[in-house]
Amino acid sequence: MTMHRACMLACVLLQLAAATPAFATTWHVRSDGGDGGQCNGRADAPYPGKGSDQACAWKHPFVALPPGKPPRIAGGDTLVIHDGAYMMGFGAPDTDGCDGDARAECVMAAVPSGPSASQPTRILGSSASGQCKGKPPELWATERARSVLNLDGSSHVEIACLEITDHSSCIKGHNHAAADARGETARCRSDAAPFGEWGEYGIHARDSSNVLLRDLDIHGMAVNGVRAGRLRDWTLQRVKLRANGWGGWDGNVSQDKGGSSANAGRIVFSGGEIAWNGCGERYPGKQVFGCWGQKQGGYGDGLGTARSGGDWLFEDMLVHHNTSDGLDLLYMDGSGSVTIRRVRAEGNGGNQIKTAGPVTIENSIAVGSCAYFASFPTSNMIEADHCRAMGNTISLTLTGSSLATLRNNTLTGQGDCLLITQGGNGDAKVLVQNNVFLGGSEWRSKDPSRHDEVCGHYASDSDATVVFERNLFWKLKGDFCPSGNVCGRDPALTDESMAHFNATPRAGSPLIGAGKALPLPKDDFQRKPRGSPPDIGAIQAKGSAK
């Protein structure tokens, strides 16, 4: 064989090796399974009651990923968790390597990274082969476990069809330590073991890339649903973050003062819900209680990041009734972008949407009912917590020469302004097209005889150009309405009250067919096709598309 042919053969063999998937194993967890010596974990079957290394499932996820020990599964493998509730923390199976004096660190070993994007390591609830159906397996934290799932350093991973929670009603560090009428305290016990059946984070992740989270219900954690930063290319599909005591998603993971938590790549939230964060959740009834704000030492953002880059997309999301901001992306550094599409944000105690840098907000409904918790029966929030950051419905901070585009949205609120823009140099621009600006009385007004109205737009310390085209303005301070827009006309929405807001135009609404023809968006909040010209606002009236 000549040297040339030998080289060609070697290249072919290398290509075949690269194209051939690495051997991967599917492992099983069942509540009636066995430990690592009794079962090999490779069969969806119960432990027969005797013998070792039997073809049966393991009895707990910790057998696969034991705290403080090497994982029994490898990168690219699949771990299927079958029906049941699994305690995650000190005292669970395979926690003999945990230090009883450091119970918070008795957590699942980090999920091994998959070999590639096409060969992820998968942790799946038993119904995860398609759309999740029925009650998913439950992973619940205990003894102040730092996290339920650990994705520190984990890349090429898929997590699906799981409920992640704890079995306590408490919030870590809550300002109410006294027992209530039910004999419960809002504050978790942290002074001495046993601490109780609570945990800090549903998911903890840093230095992690190419992760898919889908069909997860993360609720009732004592601190955050997700604590994650230094990420690249994460996608969340149909993920719920609900009633986590400090916040839904906290992006600050740096352990060092001034350290980085910045993200990169594409970060996508699709079809999920971020709600009631900054509140506790009673176990087992899931009633929301103990809501607290930043003036009381809490936090309360639905989603917040540290200084960050990346291209963030939020679409088809519900973001509501978080005790501070709904989506807080104020610390975007201008190197990436934010796109918000078909999002309904309402009842958040600060700004409904807050961003920085290049941004596009379209086909969204933002109801700035920022004083919602003032009348919520089990809220502990004080007056200063309501309508934080002046309660502006949309807050945009321009960076450098960035472009902000708002088109076909419906905005209302009871804070200071419906839209505030700030920052940016003389080349920065804000395009405001085909939006409804529906005002009313500002909640913070202390003089009942004045009934101060909400302002439509306020520019603060900005050289950016703001262009208003074919928007409708109604009931705003000083009758704000730039020329070239629809002024002084009731938009005639189905329900204009913030308690039951319905942005659908009624028959005869001045919104119908009154917008500026734009190449995008081609459909509306409900994915109905836009007309030409389109209706103003997030929702195209029935029968008005032509």
CB 399 within 8 A of CB 528: no
> Alpha carbon 3 to chain centroid distance?
58
Task: Tell whether 227 is covered by a domain.
Answer: no
Task: Tell whether 251 is covered by a domain.
Answer: no
Predicted confidence at residue 130, as pLDDT, reads 56
Phi, psi values for residue 62, rounded to 5°: -65, -20
Task: Tell whether 543 is covered by a domain.
Answer: yes
pLDDT tens string 128-163: 555 687 889 999 999 999 999 999 999 999 999 999
Residue whose tokens read 């929405």: 493
More confident residue, 228 or 15: 228
CB count in 10 Å sphere of residue 69: 15
Q: What DSSP state is assigned to residue 482?
A: -
Task: Tell whether 414 is covered by a domain.
Answer: yes
Predicted confidence at residue 369, as pLDDT, reads 97
Instruction: Assess whether pLDDT exceeds 60 at residue 10.
Output: no
When divided into structural domains, the chain yields a total of: 1
Instruction: At 444, list the tokens.
Output: 């913070």
Instruction: Assess whether pLDDT exceeds 70 at residue 66.
Output: yes
Task: Tell whether 215 is covered by a domain.
Answer: no
pLDDT tens string 492-540: 999 999 999 999 999 999 999 999 999 999 999 999 999 999 999 999 9
Closest CA to 207 of 261, 287, 284: 261
Predicted confidence at residue 127, as pLDDT, reads 66
Query: In which domain, by residue range, is 534 found?
Result: 358-371+383-395+403-546
pLDDT tens string 392-433: 999 999 999 999 999 999 999 999 999 999 999 999 999 999
Q: How confident is the model at residue 478 (pLDDT cuts 50, 70, 90)?
A: very high
Helix (H, G, I), strand (E, B) or coil at 374: helix
> Alpha carbon 316 to chain centroid distance?
12
Closest CA to 252 of 224, 212, 294: 224
Tell me the average pLDDT across 50-56: 97
Instruction: At 531, list the tokens.
Output: 């007309």
Instruction: At 27, list the tokens.
Output: 């492992």
Going by C-beta distance under 8 Å and a sequence separation of 6 or more, which residues neighbour residue 344? 317, 318, 319, 320, 364, 365, 366, 367, 525
Task: Tell whether 262 is covered by a domain.
Answer: no
Predicted confidence at residue 545, as pLDDT, reads 78
DSSP H or E run through 513: none
Predicted confidence at residue 97, as pLDDT, reads 86
Task: Tell whether 220 is covered by a domain.
Answer: no
Q: How confident is the model at residue 182 (pLDDT cuts 50, 70, 90)?
A: low
Task: Tell whether 174 is covered by a domain.
Answer: no
Three-class SS of 254-267? CCCCCCCCCCEEEE
CA 330, 362, 348, 447 dihedral sign is positive
Q: How confident is the model at residue 176 (pLDDT cuts 50, 70, 90)?
A: confident
Closest CA to 302 of 251, 247, 343, 349: 247
Report the percentage of the chain scoring pLDDT > 90. 85
